[in-house]
Structure formats: C-alpha cells, structure tokens
Amino acid sequence: KIHDSHGSPGKFRRCLALYDCDADQSDEISFKAGEIITVINEVTNDDDWMEGMIESDPSRRGLFPAIFVQFIE
C-alpha cells in the first residue's frame, strides 16, 4: 500500500555507515563508519550508488556507494 508521505518525518529510509568513505567527486559525500545517512534517492544513474545526507549535518549531501552502508529500519 502506497501512502502520500510528503512532508512526514518517516518519508526517507535511514542507513548506517559501515566503513569510512572519502568522496572522489564534488557530487559525492564523505562520511565515517557509524554515521547515520538519510537516503534521499535509492535509484541513481549508477545502480551501486544512492543519494543521501548525513543525519547529524544535512548540509552534507550527495552520492555514496551502497555497499558502504546498511539500512537500519
């Protein structure tokens, strides 16, 4: 069942960074193992990457490799 969840806090899935990640490109984000990432877009031009933002610092947003994280909800 699909709900219109526009604007609700539970709209995005969250994941835990399993490893440190250093961005190589300007559209990627760096993070440390243990940080929580809110996933904005699970489908990108590259199947192995997702778009998200760091939960503790939403100004840090961009692409990251899906294998570096694990969904927590």
Boundaries of every domain in the chain: 9-71
Query: What would the CATH number be for the domain defined by 9-71?
Result: 2.30.30.40
Sheet architecture: strand order including 57-65: 57-65, 49-54, 36-41, 14-17, 69-71
- Render pLDDT for 6-45 as a digit per residue (tens, 0 to 9): 444 557 999 999 999 999 999 999 999 999 999 999 988 8
pTM: 0.82
Report which residue type is found at 65.
Answer: P
Residue 11 is predicted with a pLDDT of 79
Kindly report the backbone phi and psi dihedral angles of residue 10, in degrees, each rounded to the nearest multiple of 5, phi listed first.
-90, 20
